[in-house]
Structure 1
Amino acid sequence: MTTFPSYWEFAVFEAVLHEKLAQQKLFPWQHLPFKAPNDSDTEQLYRCPACGEIWALSQPDNAWRGYFLPQQKAETYRRKLHRQDFAKGLIGGVCLLALIVFSLWKLLG
């Protein structure tokens, strides 16, 4: 699962997660939320006792849809989001600069 498209899907996932924790099919990996590097988002980490894989849960919050992914895939997903945010900011900055230059050209020309 990459993201939780709706609150209801996260609520269903959360119920399953609590059930797996109660049945000891998953264990909290860290007791304190893990602060993702270079990110304002916090993650809870869980370890699967069967395979040893570490999973990262980022809970949805308003427009942020969150995710539940293996830790390595979560890091890749965060880097992808940062690249997209940077590109959007760069494009917005270029558009603003073009608008300013065009406005000055019209006013002074």
Structure 2
Amino acid sequence: MCGNCFTSEIYEFHTYFDFEEFDKILGQKIEQNYLVSIWDSTNQYSYNDLVKSNVPYADNIYKCNACNETWALSTPENARRGYFLPVDEASDLETELAKRDKKTSRGCIAIIIVIVIILIAAIVN
């Protein structure tokens, strides 16, 4: 991280307005050639797919021309609030979010099973 790219991480965009403000700053840094897009979801540049596979929700990956930090951008959509993080941190965050999603889905399945059992018990009686 450096002054040419960004000096702090964004773990989530709290509102879409926050993302739009960030996107303006990001656009300026790209125009000034501080950051270069090395992968995006619509026009895949020659970038290591292994790195991209570690951040599956990233829409763009940028590299700072000054410090060589590689950044992953995930735009906010629905429940996922997006992020702008160095690729390693983005990978860790996505791993954590995947674990959380699994726990949530297990809880939903358990609730559905309980409801089905209650319905069956009500029908049998």
TM-score (norm 2): 0.73
Per-residue deviation, 1:62: 3.9
1:91 is matched with which residue?
107
Distance 1:18 1:29 in 2: 15
Runs of 4+ aligned residues of structure 1 deviating over 6 Å after TM superposition are none
Q: Deviations over 1:46-90 (max 9, x none)?
A: 011222111000112344321100001111111111111111110
State the number of aligned residues: 109
Q: State yes or no: 1:101 paired with 2:117.
A: yes
Q: State yes or no: 1:72 paired with 2:81.
A: no
Unpaired runs of 5+ residues, structure 1, are none
* Cα 1:39/1:88, change in 2 over 3 Å: farther
1:45 is matched with which residue?
61
Task: Give the aligned CA root-mean-square deviation in angstroms.
Answer: 2.4
Q: Which has the higher contact order (CA 8 A, sep 6+)?
A: 2
Q: State yes or no: 1:27 paired with 2:36.
A: yes
Distance 2:120 2:78 in 1: 39
Contact preservation (8 Å) 2:55, 2:91: no
Distance 2:83 2:91 in 1: 11
Contact preservation (8 Å) 2:70, 2:87: yes
2:13 is matched with which residue?
4
DSSP-derived class of the 1:45 partner: strand
Distance 1:19 1:100 in 2: 55
